[in-house]
Copies of this chain bind each other. A is one copy, B any other.
């Protein structure tokens, strides 16, 4: 069984530094973190607190609730979570809620029945009060999702900023008629992006036209539908902010089919930076979600929650940045 000294020796660092990395101490350089993690992986070292948990506890399984696996953002997120979890000796079970309240409750009951140790929610369907009323035997952690005013740890991205930088980019490219595609629901995440869009628009005193707001857009086919709807308008938007690369890809594909040029007649910006962003033509300008970092942070915090129950009482928010990736669709 490798020890912390073995890790320190292989990494060429002090035991204190290794310990700081293990405990997520803030003042450690990325380079040292990387060296320690590589050494831990190489030796198969499992920190004591985790090792104790692994011995004492129950399933070594963490459930991840996702709303729709056919959205590649969630498929990649799950793989990132799994990579990190398996490095720490945990299995991930993937639960596809399909945006369904009943299914969500059924999956949450895995925790009640002690079939899993903890649950990561990348989506929430039911009111928090309803979930909170279930006597769950383990922690819940939100990942790129949250509920306002609720005391649950969450890994967040600054989606207000995401909505803002995307919209501002389109404005900087000279667009004044900018439409907006979204799920049209009242999720925190959707509201945040919408707030960012509004703030970029009003900052420049640009009009937000109701007919340019497209709800219930989730995938490629929805993007095609939006584009066809725009063709019937007298006053058309010249640019679209979308909440997903898939929707943006559908818009571009349909626009070209209809004889329009992208970005000249219609500029489009996606969200996520999925592989499809580089296959569609022109390649997509998009807001990159740092999926590896999200997975890494989420599993680290989940392990904290499993091994240190005190933290569950506190409100824990970890925020990660979103980044604009400019390609040819804008």
Centre residue among A75, A220, A249, A256 by max chain B CB count within 10 A: A75
Assembled-state Cα–Cα distance A80/B106 (Å): 19
Q: How far is the CB of A92 from chain B (nearest CB, A)?
A: 7
Residue A122, interface by CB 8 Å? no
Q: Which residues of B contact A86 (CB under 8 A)?
A: 103
Contacts A79-B96, A86-B103 given; does A70 touch B70 at CB 8 Å = no
Q: How far is the CB of A88 from chain B (nearest CB, A)?
A: 14
Contact of A72 among B70, B96, B107 (CB under 8 A): B70
Are A78 and B96 in contact, with the CB atoms below 8 A? yes
Residue A281, interface by CB 8 Å? yes
Contact of A98 among B79, B221, B256 (CB under 8 A): B79
Assembled-state Cα–Cα distance A279/B255 (Å): 11
Q: Which residues of B contact A249 (CB under 8 A)?
A: 279
Residue A117, interface by CB 8 Å? no
Are B96 and A82 in contact, with the CB atoms below 8 A? yes
Number of copies: 2
Residue A118, interface by CB 8 Å? no
Q: Mark A64-81, 1 if CB is under 8 A from B, else 0.
A: 000011101001101100
Are B219 and A275 in contact, with the CB atoms below 8 A? yes
Q: How far is the CB of A244 from chain B (nearest CB, A)?
A: 12
Residue A278, interface by CB 8 Å? yes
Residue A253, interface by CB 8 Å? yes
Residue A258, interface by CB 8 Å? no
Residue A95, interface by CB 8 Å? yes
Q: How far is the CB of A15 from chain B (nearest CB, A)?
A: 30
Residue A91, interface by CB 8 Å? yes
Assembled-state Cα–Cα distance A95/B279 (Å): 28
Assembled-state Cα–Cα distance A86/B249 (Å): 31
Q: How far is the CB of A116 from chain B (nearest CB, A)?
A: 9
Are B82 and A98 in contact, with the CB atoms below 8 A? yes
Residue A93, interface by CB 8 Å? yes
Contact of A94 among B95, B221, B256 (CB under 8 A): B95
Residue A250, interface by CB 8 Å? yes
Residue A280, interface by CB 8 Å? yes
Q: How far is the CB of A142 from chain B (nearest CB, A)?
A: 20
Binding site for B on A (CB under 8 A): 59, 68-70, 72, 75-76, 78-79, 82, 86, 91-96, 98, 103, 106-107, 115, 219-221, 246, 249-250, 253, 256, 275-276, 278-281
8 nearest interchain CB pairs?
A94-B94, A69-B75, A70-B75, A220-B275, A253-B279, A93-B93, A249-B279, A75-B75
Could you list some 26 contacts between A and B, CB below 8 A? A69-B78, A69-B94, A70-B75, A70-B76, A72-B75, A75-B75, A78-B96, A82-B96, A86-B103, A91-B95, A91-B103, A91-B106, A92-B96, A93-B94, A93-B95, A94-B94, A94-B96, A115-B115, A220-B275, A246-B275, A250-B279, A253-B278, A253-B279, A256-B281, A276-B279, A280-B280
